[in-house]
Amino acid sequence: MIVTTLILGLVLGGTYALLALGLTLQYGIARIMNLAYGELTLIAAFGLVALFQQAGISPLLSLLVLPVLGYGLGWILYQGMMRPLVARSDGTGRLEVDSILATFGLLFLIQGLLLLAFGANFTSISYLDRGVSILGVSVALNRLIAFGICVLSGGALVWALNRTTWGLRMRAVALTPGSAPLVGIDVNRIARQGFAIGTALACVAGASISMYQTFSATGGVIFTMKALVIVIMGGVGNVPGALIAGLALGLLETFVATAIDPGLTLAATFTIFLAVLLWRPQGLFGARS
Amino acid sequence: MMRIILPLAGLVLLALLPLWLSDYGLGLMVGAATYVTLASAWALFSGHTHYVSLATVAFYGIGAYTVAVLNEVLPYPLVLMVAGAMGAGLALIVGLSTLRLKGVYFVIFSFGLAELIRQLITWYEVNVTGTLGRYIFLEITTAGIYWQMLGLGALTLALTAWIHRNRLGLALRVIGDDEAVAAHSGIHLARVKLIAFVLSAVILTLAGAITSPRYVYVEPSIVFNPTVSFLTVIMALLGGANRLCGPMLGAVPLFLLFEWLSAHFPDSYPIFLGLMFIAVVFVLPNGVIAGVETLRHKLREARS
């Protein structure tokens, strides 16, 4: 029983961690609080299903292609929508309010387009839905693949941020966007890359989730909500923090759903969020400012 | 003197409207009055501080739900008071935990608050009381609801006007401009924000309680409809959230527009809402009133 909860919780947590990675990059590096994040993941989810059902393209192939398209979409969104706001705010707190409202508008825009294109019904495909036994617990293969993708992309990101010059630039912009130009960093370019990579990761998460979970055009808000809670728990811009917090949230939700009531998982998420805000608003792994 | 007489005359005129209007017209007026109240109450807190609250419907829904639960147990005025107290209580919990922190935490928390409360009430009703869905049988006519809402709206505007002129309003404006400056000039940040947030929340809750008899049948998914929160925000922003009459100017035309859109184009409704948000942020970041003023200023400069 405990082993089952642990394994299922870790697998669910992997999805959440993957979901939060992109958001923590977008907010940590590009400083855009993206409330339309869940809708971006849904674009990839619907994209994968449409490619699979209509063109017969293997979801595993889509998993490689969709993030590339996502990178492009993120690039365009940042350049077309966020960059003017960044320029207008001129380093003041105005950017936060503007980006919240603009991405809030983007949320409805994407949601409306998805509703028009795919309707309001729940969508699902079952791809590679075979049980695989791990320590005596049967886990669906597609969930394991999603967990693997999470570990891979999370690990690669942590390595790139900490071990490469490119990562050093990213971290410099995340830490002090005002001083980064002094050492010759093009802040605009790095922020754009951060936002675009965040969007690409959103697509990775959306595409992996669509392989095993039912979803609908109006469900993006819940994805955004969970990703936000994980980002705050892990500390804004903190990639390892987001990974650990995501896994923790998955474990907690699975525990609450099996031991208490599945209807209370969101309440559990919020309780944790409230606790983090009260005791460690800088995140479980962030340094006190 | 005229500053007091004109609004009062307008209010009397609006209060006399039910004598002439059809049922449909009156229904529209109730809706418009509700959104004017919601947008003005939202702006009371968020207009100056720039703390964007996405939780309007959490309070509105609590108001409606309180009436649904208590309408057969307590006399109506007492039900309203309980609803107001519930709203204040929730606002205190949310405010005490998030308003001490950066604005973005408040936004995130308010983003999920309505959904959280909806799920909690659903869970409670299904598992504890075993009744999902309640009926409201109150002897209140549509005109009665309209007059109450009109009164609440007028009260909100009067309260906003009064706050704009006293120390609380000044403190809120300074906080909105720069929190560090506000803290250094001796403003108790958390307390000021909390007072404004609780005031605004009580009005939002009362608005929900007053309109609830129009639903007759109340269920969590009906009264916690997130669209109410989003409409409120866009209405206040369009008119100008830091002006006294801004939310009202945004609420009336947008309410009528969205009413028409939801009847004729229910499918593309979210697209329009989204474009509206983006347009306001890019074209009219401070609202219509400020936009017109800037335009007039530019014209005058061009002429001289």
Residue A111 forms contact with B (CB below 8 Å)? yes
B-chain residues near A93 (CB < 8 A)? 50, 103, 178
Of B105, B277, B282, the CB nearest to A104: B277
Structural domains of chain A, with CATH: 2-279 (1.10.3470)
Positive or negative: CA dihedral A69, A73, A78, A82: negative
* Distance between CA atoms of residues B237 and A72, nearest Å: 31
Q: Map tokens 């405990």 to a residue.
A: A2
Q: Which long-range contacts (CB under 8 A, 24 or more apart) does B267-271 make?
A: B267/A115, B267/A116, B268/A112, B268/A116, B269/A112, B270/A108, B270/A109, B270/A111, B270/A112, B270/A115, B271/A108, B271/A109, B271/A112, B271/A113, B271/A116
- The predicted structure's pLDDT at residue B202: 95
* Cross-chain residue pair A102–B97, CB shorter than 8 Å: no
* Cross-chain residue pair A97–B112, CB shorter than 8 Å: no
Residue A23 forms contact with B (CB below 8 Å)? no
Q: What mean pLDDT is reported for chain B?
A: 86
* Cross-chain residue pair A102–B126, CB shorter than 8 Å: no
DSSP letters, A239-283, are: HHHHHHHHHHHHHHHHHHHHHT-GGGHHHHHHHHHHHHHHH-TT-
A129 has a pLDDT exceeding 80: no
Residue A116 forms contact with B (CB below 8 Å)? yes
- The predicted structure's pLDDT at residue A288: 52
Q: CA-CA distances (angstroms) from residue A264 to B61, B93, B108, B168, B247? A: 19, 19, 19, 39, 36
Task: pLDDT band for A77, please (50, 70, 90 cuts).
Answer: very high
Task: pLDDT band for B125, please (50, 70, 90 cuts).
Answer: confident
pTM score: 0.87
**Whose CA is closest to B249, among B264, B239, B259, B257?**
B239
Residue B281 forms contact with A (CB below 8 Å)? yes
Size of interface A-B (CB pairs under 8 A): 119
Q: What digits encode the pLDDT tens for the residues A110-127?
A: 999 998 888 878 877 777
Q: At B232, which helix (H) or strand (E)?
A: helix B227-239
**Whose CA is closest to B176, among B128, B115, B242?**
B242
Of A106, A112, A267, the CB nearest to B116: A267
- The predicted structure's pLDDT at residue B4: 79
Q: What mean pLDDT is reported for chain A?
A: 85
Residue A260 forms contact with B (CB below 8 Å)? no
Q: Shortest Cα distance from B226 to chain A (angstroms)? A: 11
- The predicted structure's pLDDT at residue A192: 92
- The predicted structure's pLDDT at residue B34: 93
**Whose CA is closest to A202, among A30, A34, A18?**
A18
A-chain residues near B45 (CB < 8 A)? none
A-chain residues near B47 (CB < 8 A)? none
Q: Is residue A286 helix, strand or coil?
A: coil
A-chain residues near B107 (CB < 8 A)? 33, 100
Mutate to test the interface with A, among B107, B120, B232, B235 (most CBs of A within 10 A): B107
The structural domains of chain B, with segments of one domain joined by +, span: 26-225
* Distance between CA atoms of residues B118 and B263, nearest Å: 26
Q: Shortest Cα distance from A160 to chain B (angstroms)? A: 28
| Separation of CA A244 from chain center | 14
Question: How many Cβ atoms from other residues are within 10 Å of residue A51's Cβ?
Answer: 18
Task: pLDDT band for B203, please (50, 70, 90 cuts).
Answer: very high
- Interface subset of B 179-218, CB within 8 angstroms of A: none
- CB neighbour list of residue B260: distance below 8 Å, 6 or more residues apart: none
- Interface subset of B 61-120, CB within 8 angstroms of A: 97-98, 101, 103-105, 107-109, 111-112, 115-116, 119-120
* Cross-chain residue pair A116–B272, CB shorter than 8 Å: no
* Distance between CA atoms of residues B46 and B40, nearest Å: 10
Q: Shortest Cα distance from A225 to chain B (angstroms)? A: 7
* Cross-chain residue pair A274–B50, CB shorter than 8 Å: no
Q: At B217, which helix (H) or strand (E)?
A: strand B217-218
Q: What digits encode the pLDDT tens for the residues A33-72?
A: 889 999 999 999 999 888 888 888 888 888 888 889 999 9
User: ipTM of the assembly?
Assistant: 0.83
Residue of B nearest to A119 (CA): B267
Of A35, A84, A274, the CB nearest to B97: A274
Q: What digits encode the pLDDT tens for the residues B216-261?
A: 888 888 888 888 888 899 889 888 888 888 888 888 888 988 888 8
Q: Shortest Cα distance from A130 to chain B (angstroms)? A: 32
Question: How many Cβ atoms from other residues are within 10 Å of residue A272's Cβ?
Answer: 20
* Distance between CA atoms of residues B172 and A43, nearest Å: 40
Of A104, A109, A228, the CB nearest to B275: A109
Q: Is B74 exposed, middle or buried (0-12, 13-18, 19+ CB in 10 A)?
A: middle
* Cross-chain residue pair B111–A277, CB shorter than 8 Å: no
Residue A247 forms contact with B (CB below 8 Å)? no
